[in-house]
Amino acid sequence: MIFPCDWCSHVSNRQDNLEAHIKLHTLMRPKSGGKPRVNFYPGAVLQYQEIIRHNESRRRRKVKFGNRPASCA
């Protein structure tokens, strides 16, 4: 499966790699003469915050349902 970045031409083969790449778009870097690896996009900040919320809710569900006693299964 292919996961394209909404902000640039980057394509990843894994969702977690794309999430790490999107995080790079959320960082504002000062101009230091050189070209930054990726550009900052304010919309990427919102997208990354949504990814974090989604991952946290999935983590809570795993803990909530993953630790049930064997008699409940």
pLDDT tens for 12-61 read 999 999 999 999 999 987 766 677 778 999 999 999 999 999 999 888 77
Give residue 35's pLDDT.
74
Give residue 44's pLDDT.
96
Phi-psi category of 33—alpha, beta or left, where left has phi over 0 and alpha has psi -120 to 50? left
- State the pTM of this model: 0.72
pLDDT category at 62 given cuts 50, 70, 90 is low
* Residue 51 and residue 69 in contact, taking contact as beta carbons nearer than 8 Å: no
